[in-house]
Amino acid sequence: MTAAATHSADIRPAFPGMKVTQARVIKSEWTKFRSLRSTKIILLVSIILTIGVSALICAVTASHWTRLEPGDRASFNAVASSLNGILISQLAVGVLGVLLISGEYATGMIRASLTAAPKRLPVLWGKIAVFAGVVGTASIVSTFVSFFLGQALLTGHNLRVGISSPGALRMVIAAGVYLLLVGIIGMALGCLLRNTAAGISSLVALFFVIPPILGLLPKSWSDKIGPYLPANAGEAFWGHPEGSHLSPWVGLAVLCAWTAVAVALAAVRLTRYDA
Amino acid sequence: MIEVHNLTKRYGDKVAVKDLTFTVRPGIVTGFLGPNGAGKSTTMRMIAGLDAPTEGTVSVNGGRYRDASAPMAQLGILLEARAVHTSRSAYNHLLALAQTNGIPSRRVAEVIDLVGLSEVAKKRVGGFSLGMGQRLGVASALLGDPQTVILDEPVNGLDPEGILWVRNLLKGLAAEGRTVFVSSHLMSEMALTAQRLIVVGRGQLIADTTVAEFVAQASGNVVVVRSPQSSELRELLVSPDVTVSAIAPGQIEVHGLSAEQIGDVAWENRLRIHELSTQQASLEEAFMELTRNAVEYHAHGVTPSHSADDRPVTSGDPR
Ligand SMILES: Nc1ncnc2c1ncn2[C@@H]1O[C@H](COP(=O)(O)OP(=O)(O)OP(=O)(O)O)[C@@H](O)[C@H]1O
Ligand SMILES: [Mg+2]
């Protein structure tokens, strides 16, 4: 037996140029993404919810405009109304994020993924990159469609505003970015918990349960903590400025901080623990 | 080549692998045997870097698997539990794995053909039978044309034709100079496929030996004698080292003497012999004997007999 001849450095791969690179892992993750029907269906559902619910809200508002309370009319914001669908579609995007990783744990696929790329982190970055590319694009396109469709439905009572009106472009893009960040937080939860049910539950808790519960606390408390929850910081970013405690850019910074912490924890979980 | 050095793995209080040291060499098939829960799968997962050792080290072809630039050229592994998303097609599953390492897509078609899944390559893996799933696992292990191949119970769920196919595949891979490490519960299967054996029980090394040596030790030593004068013969044969038991009228079983020795005694004493045959103790029995003290999960009614003699059986390697 010759020890030198079997050292890893001396093994010539059977295929020229064989090597793991981040770009190749991204390509592989794209293959995985497009070859699952469930992911495509959930993505489609999120697009339909964003556009459909926003359109519904605009249509109902327009048809009931004359019967609305003066207060409601005063607080009405045509841009925000045409984006409100994301309050529901964020759940679909978040679930998609959870599933993309927890699904691999549920089926055992993760072990194949991590033996193919044993440094592990490239797999997480690859998944996030594909998600950002596909879901980010789909989200921003659907918030633009939402906006224009919503404004068309609001034409009747002269409520409609243009994309060049103050804050409109920022809000439309921000709504798409918000959806993407919710999805990435979902991915991090899937990676941390390695379980679909647990991942979705904690996502729902973070975005849908904790915010209203916080409202039950003394006002001095809820006012201090509330704005920094991801859902509220997100709404400061994409919503109408008057409704929020934080400025849009502070909102974005807070939301990015949540995302970064979640992803960092997920990276630690992925690399430091047995697969 | 796989080198395992003082490997220990604990899951909480549970010690799955304890101070295991062995080397798996290229060019031959090495069998990895042990009863349920012996730590075979855990050891294999540690070699592939999926589980981190609590103590000790593992190297694949002289380096850490994690550090390999083209991991799939170094090691291909078939894991015990299925490692494939059930909603994806076999083709897309293999394509995604191949892409990570820059393996050309024609190789995907090649391995699909090799394992005989061409007709179902575009079907959802969720609908595959146990044997088809196992073939897909073998395909993913071979995708990178790896120098070292690890297969955890590859014949599990395969039909006789599939078993024969795996047997020839393993031999072929070894003949090409690759390191082939394959786990099994079946000693008889390993006797047909492997040249070396690593036997573990309760996470510890029990034997590191050649198959030939194991078979030689396991066979012989039991001779069945049929004679109308069996009781006289019995009197002549018994001694502290030899036990004789009657198994039927006119038929005895002798432990501790060869057929030649028994025949000579009979001839010297003018006793008639109608049959004199050496029994091949079954390999499975020999294997169970070897691992009896290390069996973790006994069926009800069988009590484990604990023995202090846990020394590993080792022998020279076939260099
Ligand atoms: N992730 C884990 N967490 C806790 N215990 C584990 C884990 N994996 C394995 N074990 C335990 O470690 C021991 C060794 O298990 P392992 O699966 O390696 O055995 P094996 O030799 O492959 O058995 P089998 O022949 O049944 O496949 C078992 O007692 C098992 O319960
Ligand atoms: Mg096992």
- How far is residue A114 from each of residues A19, A104, B112, B173, measured CA to CA in Å? 15, 11, 21, 24
Cα B190 off chain centre by: 5
From B318's Cα to the closest Cα of chain A, the distance in A is 10
The CA angle A211-A213-A219, to the nearest 5 degrees, is 90
ipTM of the complex: 0.91
Instruction: Out of B15, B40, B47, B298, give the residue to mutate to test ligand 1, the one with the largest number of ligand atoms within 8 Å of its CB.
Output: B40
Listed residue (B30, B312, B15, B36) closest to B170, CA to CA? B30
Give the confidence band of B296 by pLDDT, cuts at 50, 70, 90. low
How much of chain A, in percent, has pLDDT values that exceed 90? 68
Report DSSP state, residue B299.
Answer: P
Task: Answer yes or no: is pLDDT of A265 > 90.
Answer: yes
B65-115 pLDDT per residue, tens? 999 999 999 999 999 888 999 999 999 999 999 999 999 999 999 999 999
Listed residue (B95, B117, B195) closest to B162, CA to CA? B117
Look at residue B310 in the predicted model and tell me its pLDDT: 44
Closest protein CA for atom 29 of ligand 1? B37
Task: Give just the sign of the alpha carbon dihedral B55, B56, B60, B64.
Answer: positive
**Residue-range domains of chain B with CATH:** 2-216 (3.40.50.300), 228-273 (no CATH)
Chain pair A-B, CB pairs under 8 angstroms:
148
**Which atom of ligand 1 is the closest one to the Cα of B203?**
14
- Does the C-beta of B42 come closer than 6 Å to ligand 1? yes
Interchain contact, A274 vs B75, CB within 8 Å:
no
Interchain contact, A112 vs B147, CB within 8 Å:
no
Look at residue A1 in the predicted model and tell me its pLDDT: 39
**pTM, full prediction:** 0.86
Burial of B276 (0-12, 13-18, 19+ CB in 10 A): middle
Closest protein CA for atom 25 of ligand 1? B36
Task: Answer yes or no: is pLDDT of A60 > 70.
Answer: yes
Task: Assess contact for B197 and B185: CB atoms under 8 A.
Answer: no
Task: Answer yes or no: is pLDDT of A62 > 90.
Answer: no
Interchain contact, B68 vs A17, CB within 8 Å:
no
Interval between CA B42 and ligand 1 midpoint (Å): 6
Ligand located closest to B14 CA: 1
Give the confidence band of A251 by pLDDT, cuts at 50, 70, 90. very high
**Which of A15, A24, A100 has the most B C-beta neighbours within 10 Å, making it the best mutation to test the interface with B?**
A15
- Does the C-beta of B36 come closer than 6 Å to ligand 1? yes
B24-78 pLDDT per residue, tens? 999 999 999 998 999 999 999 999 999 999 999 999 999 999 999 999 999 999 9
Helix, strand or coil, per DSSP, at residue B244:
strand
Task: Give just the sign of the alpha carbon dihedral A126, A130, A135, A136.
Answer: positive
Task: Answer yes or no: is pLDDT of B204 > 50.
Answer: yes
Report DSSP state, residue B294.
Answer: G
Listed residue (A146, A158, A153, A147) closest to A66, CA to CA? A158
Tell me the pLDDT of chain B averaged across its residues: 88
Question: Helix-strand-coil percent breakdown of chain B, rounded to 5?
Answer: 35, 30, 35
Task: Look up residue B306 and give its two tokens.
Answer: 């604990």
Which chain A residue has the Cα nearest residue B123? A35
Task: Answer yes or no: is pLDDT of B181 > 90.
Answer: yes
Tell me the pLDDT of chain A averaged across its residues: 91
Task: Answer yes or no: is pLDDT of B212 > 90.
Answer: no
Mean pLDDT over residues A125-150, rounded?
97
Task: Answer yes or no: is pLDDT of A22 > 80.
Answer: yes
Task: Answer yes or no: is pLDDT of B175 > 80.
Answer: yes
Task: Assess contact for A95 and A186: CB atoms under 8 A.
Answer: yes
Give the confidence band of B157 by pLDDT, cuts at 50, 70, 90. confident
Task: Answer yes or no: is pLDDT of A21 > 80.
Answer: yes
The CA angle A19-A184-A260, to the nearest 5 degrees, is 90
Give the confidence band of B241 by pLDDT, cuts at 50, 70, 90. confident
**Which atom of ligand 1 is the closest one to the Cα of B39?**
18
Interval between CA B39 and ligand 1 midpoint (Å): 5
Mean pLDDT over residues B3-32, rounded?
96
Listed residue (B145, B130, B132, B3) closest to B63, CA to CA? B3
**Which atom of ligand 1 is the closest one to the Cα of B80?**
27
Cα separation, B81 vs A160, whole angstroms? 58
**Which of A40, A109, A119, A130 has the most B C-beta neighbours within 10 Å, making it the best mutation to test the interface with B?**
A109
Count CB-CB contacts under 10 A for residue B204: 18
Look at residue A262 in the predicted model and tell me its pLDDT: 98
Cα separation, B32 vs B42, whole angstroms? 12
- Does the C-beta of B16 come closer than 6 Å to ligand 1? yes
Give the confidence band of B167 by pLDDT, cuts at 50, 70, 90. very high
| Phi, psi dihedral angles at A70 (to 5 degrees) | -60, -35
Give the confidence band of B302 by pLDDT, cuts at 50, 70, 90. very low
DSSP string, A29-68: HHHHHHT-HHHHHHHHHHHHHHHHHHHHHHHHHHHHGGGS
Task: Answer yes or no: is pLDDT of A204 > 70.
Answer: yes
Task: Answer yes or no: is pLDDT of A4 > 60.
Answer: no
- How far is residue A46 from each of residues A143, A145, B110, B117, measured CA to CA in Å? 11, 13, 39, 36
Task: Assess contact for B261 and B280: CB atoms under 8 A.
Answer: no
From B77's Cα to the closest Cα of chain A, the distance in A is 8
Task: Answer yes or no: is pLDDT of B303 > 50.
Answer: no
In chain A, beta strands by DSSP E: none
- Does the C-beta of B227 come closer than 6 Å to ligand 1? no
Look at residue B281 in the predicted model and tell me its pLDDT: 64
A67-92 pLDDT per residue, tens? 888 877 878 888 999 999 999 999 99
- Does the C-beta of B39 come closer than 6 Å to ligand 1? yes
Task: Answer yes or no: is pLDDT of B235 > 60.
Answer: yes
- How far is residue B69 from each of residues A11, A22, A97, A212, B49, measured CA to CA in Å? 11, 12, 29, 50, 14
Please check whether residue B25 touches A, CB under 8 A. Answer: yes
From B102's Cα to the closest Cα of chain A, the distance in A is 5
Cα B214 off chain centre by: 12
Helix, strand or coil, per DSSP, at residue B138:
helix
**Which of B94, B101, B148 has the most A C-beta neighbours within 10 Å, making it the best mutation to test the interface with A?**
B101
Rounded to a whole number of angstroms, the CA Rg of chain B reads 24
**B258 versus B78: which is more confidently predicted?**
B78
Task: Answer yes or no: is pLDDT of A132 > 90.
Answer: yes
Give the confidence band of B255 by pLDDT, cuts at 50, 70, 90. confident
Task: Look up residue B190 and give its two tokens.
Answer: 């390993």
Please check whether residue B177 touches A, CB under 8 A. Answer: no
